[in-house]
Amino acid sequence: MLDGLRRLEYRGYDSAGLAVFQPEQGLEVIKTKGRVDALARQVEGRGGLAGDIGLGHTRWATHGAPSQQNSHPHVSENGRIAVVHNGIIENYAEIRGFLQSTGVRFASETDSEVVAQLLEYYYNGSILEAVTKVLHRIQGAYALGILCADCPDRLIAARKDSPLVLGFGQGCRLLASDVTALIRYTRDVCYLDDGEIAELTADHVWVYDAYLRPVEKERRRVDWDISAAEKGGYEHFMLKEIMEQPKAVRDTLSPRIQDGRVVLDEVSFPKNFLAEMDRIAVIACGSSYHVGMAAKYILEKLLRKPVEVALASEFRYCDPIVTPRTLALVISQSGETIDTLAAMREAKRLGAKVLSIVNVVGSTIARESHQVLYTWAGPEIAVATTKAYSTQLAMIYLIGLCFGEVLGTLPPGEYAGLLAALQRLPDQLEEVLSCRERIQYLASVCFNHPSVFFIGRHLDYAVGLEGSLKLKEISYLHSEAYAAGELKHGTISLIEPGTLVVALATCRPLFEKTMSNVVEVKSRGADVLGLTTAPLEAAMGQTATYTLTVPETHPLLLPSLDVVPMQLFAYYVALMHGCDIDKPRNLAKSVTVE
Ligand code: F6R
């Protein structure tokens, strides 16, 4: 269990715990605030924990501060039922009040503890029946693991809106919220769906629906290699994943380019759907949303259809205009982000066709969308996304070319030119990565700036959004991204001597316009780090304090190259600040709470 928890450390957490059934002592629970290593030391301090069955958990605090009491597993008052929970029990206050009125005393401030206490309340000799009663009573999102001392040969699991995967190992059955925890023990897995309950013994798994009717589940084989989830000599997963981008992009593109054409076998829409499509609604969060921002410029140019980009957390509550002629393009690395999932369901309910771009095979968004295009980035462990972003962007180009051909919207010669440039992209990414020492040097001269602004126009603006997010999430520096022309409408008042402005000006037709904005900030004392293409380096160098270049490519492909120096810059700045790069504070890899 400790090994499994270590493999999930990348997801972000603040406390950890274990419950093991020991034949002599019953349920033994060890919990601690802090890292899995601290938990392991406590286990060692007690001379180890012997047992055949148990539950482990790492908690990312929502209700109640990170503390030993608030960490999982939570145990019912009589000490006989242990529970781990991911998600949020929305009606926990009402249930807590009810249980307290019956005399139950709570040990933590969490929403999760109500599940353990409610199980004890309903338990009448059958843990499965108690679980079904609890599931009918609780509202919210959950992935639950339950261990009852009265039936110490089995675990019970249940899910709604929070991922759970079951593993079929040699003489053992396992459950986890992410396949990464299981891969060392088995590649045979099955994903629980919403509303399902599972019962696991060492050699058997039964899956039921909410009324305990048996459900047949399909097993899947995980085909990625365990080394993909190891650092392979790099100091951090983030750097490893940045360096893996040429391969990840190549793996995403090559199977879909056949005989000089883009072939998206996975996608088939009813006849005329694309021609009659009224709009594309891109739905995503965070960096995936930033891919959506770039997609707006790219797809509108190639398809001549309106593309609206929505933050998933806003989309679901804004009464969105969606029709059966709308294509909802859902972008998610994990395929489990709760806001994106909920927004996708809303779009589906309103009649949209849902096409998702997902990295994790078998994830909930992949399973629930009408069509899915997998990015073949491999497992992404660092919390800050890099290779998933790049492969999502690569997928946008494939969609643009494929749909553009069907719609006949690409200007003559454009298809072949763009496709040829796309095929050169992995080599050009290698070229950009080979300049990382220069970026490391620039990070060493810039890392002390307290405030950083990223500016750019058009696609450069979309990349600036991502560059700014990368920097703030891993280095904790204050940074913001602005459309370069927007700066003068207010934000320029923040520019003063010592402010660092990262100016992205790779978009040739808008170069002079962006340079005017660079002059504006420079004349107010800002230090400017300018990113442009090699032929424009000298022009940039006349104004910028420092310059960085990327090779020339098709203008629509520039974001794929531009983002790499932004990722490396953030990485090296964070390194110089001594930050916990792979596990930045307060962040989780897959955000399965609202
Ligand atoms: C930033 C980052 C996040 C994710 C966001 C959406 O580096 O990784 O902003 O992009 O949480 O996650 P997915 O793509 O898994 O839906």
What confidence score (pLDDT) does residue 583 get?
87
Condensed to tens digits (0 to 9), the pLDDT of residues 365-422 reads 999 999 999 999 999 999 999 999 999 999 999 999 999 999 999 988 999 999 999 9
What confidence score (pLDDT) does residue 321 get?
94
Are 559 and 294 a contacting pair, CB within 8 Å? yes
For residue 591 and ligand 1, the question of a CB distance below 6 A is answered with yes
CA atoms within 13 A on the CB side of 358: 26
How far does CA 233 lie from the centroid of its chain? 24
The mean per-residue pLDDT over the stretch 313-327 comes to 95
For the purposes of burial, counting CB atoms within 10 Å of the CB of 122, is it exposed (0-12), middle (13-18) or buried (19 or more)?
middle
Domain covering 2-223, topology: Glutamine Phosphoribosylpyrophosphate, subunit 1, domain 1 (3.60.20)
What confidence score (pLDDT) does residue 223 get?
79
> What are residue 529's DSSP bridge partners?
502, 546
What confidence score (pLDDT) does residue 322 get?
96
**Whether residue 565 has a cis bond before it, omega within 30° of 0:** no
The 3-state DSSP class for residue 135 equals helix
What confidence score (pLDDT) does residue 7 get?
87
Are 397 and 383 a contacting pair, CB within 8 Å? no
Report the residue among 238, 242, 283, 285 best suited for mutation to probe ligand 1: largest number of ligand atoms under 8 A from its CB.
285
Q: Tokens 């080599």 appear where? A: 427
Of the candidates 16, 134, 145, 163, the residue with the CA atom closest to the CA atom of residue 83: 145
The mean per-residue pLDDT over the stretch 61-89 comes to 95
Contacting residues for 287 by C-beta, under 8 A, at least 6 apart: 333, 385, 388, 389, 466, 469
In this structure, which residue's CA is closest to atom 4 in ligand 1? 286
CATH number corresponding to 436-576: 3.40.50.10490
Of the candidates 154, 153, 149, 174, the residue with the CA atom closest to the CA atom of residue 164: 174
Residue 527 pLDDT class (50, 70, 90 cuts)? very high
For residue 288 and ligand 1, the question of a CB distance below 6 A is answered with yes
> What are residue 530's DSSP bridge partners?
503, 547
How far does CA 465 lie from the centroid of its chain? 17
What confidence score (pLDDT) does residue 347 get?
98
Are 335 and 295 a contacting pair, CB within 8 Å? no
Condensed to tens digits (0 to 9), the pLDDT of residues 187-204 reads 999 999 999 999 999 999
Of the candidates 263, 552, 533, the residue with the CA atom closest to the CA atom of residue 419: 263
Condensed to tens digits (0 to 9), the pLDDT of residues 433-465 reads 999 999 999 999 999 898 999 999 999 999 999
Atom of ligand 1 nearest to the CA of 284: 16
The mean per-residue pLDDT over the stretch 53-64 comes to 93
Report the residue among 381, 383, 385 best suited for mutation to probe ligand 1: largest number of ligand atoms under 8 A from its CB.
385
What are the angstrom distances between the C-alpha of 274 and each of 271, 402, 403, 419?
Answer: 8, 11, 7, 21
Helix (H) / strand (E) containing 294: helix 286-303
What are the angstrom distances between the C-alpha of 211 and each of 161, 196, 215?
Answer: 18, 9, 11
For residue 385 and ligand 1, the question of a CB distance below 6 A is answered with yes
Say yes or no: do domains 2-223 and 436-576 share a fold.
no
In this structure, which residue's CA is closest to atom 10 in ligand 1? 287
The mean per-residue pLDDT over the stretch 485-514 comes to 94
State the Cα angle at 471 between 467 and 475, rounded to 5°.
170
In this structure, which residue's CA is closest to atom 9 in ligand 1? 286
Atom of ligand 1 nearest to the CA of 340: 16
The mean per-residue pLDDT over the stretch 289-316 comes to 97
Buried/exposed code over 36-69 (b: 16+ C-beta within 10 A; e: otherwise): beebbebbeeeeebebebbbbbbbbbeebeebeb
Residue 219 token pair:
């097993």
Condensed to tens digits (0 to 9), the pLDDT of residues 412-435 reads 899 999 999 999 999 999 999 999
The mean per-residue pLDDT over the stretch 117-128 comes to 97
Of the candidates 316, 315, 330, 417, the residue with the CA atom closest to the CA atom of residue 366: 330
Has residue 250 got a pLDDT over 90? yes
Q: Domain limits of the chain?
A: 2-223, 231-433, 436-576
Condensed to tens digits (0 to 9), the pLDDT of residues 148-195 reads 999 999 999 999 989 999 999 999 999 999 888 998 999 999 999 999
Residue 381 token pair:
């462990």
Residue 439: left (phi > 0), alpha (psi -120 to 50), or beta?
Answer: alpha
The mean per-residue pLDDT over the stretch 316-323 comes to 93
**Percent of the chain whose pLDDT exceeds 90:** 88
Are 290 and 283 a contacting pair, CB within 8 Å? no
For residue 332 and ligand 1, the question of a CB distance below 6 A is answered with yes
For residue 592 and ligand 1, the question of a CB distance below 6 A is answered with no
Residue 97 pLDDT class (50, 70, 90 cuts)? very high
Q: Which CATH class is domain 231-433?
A: alpha beta
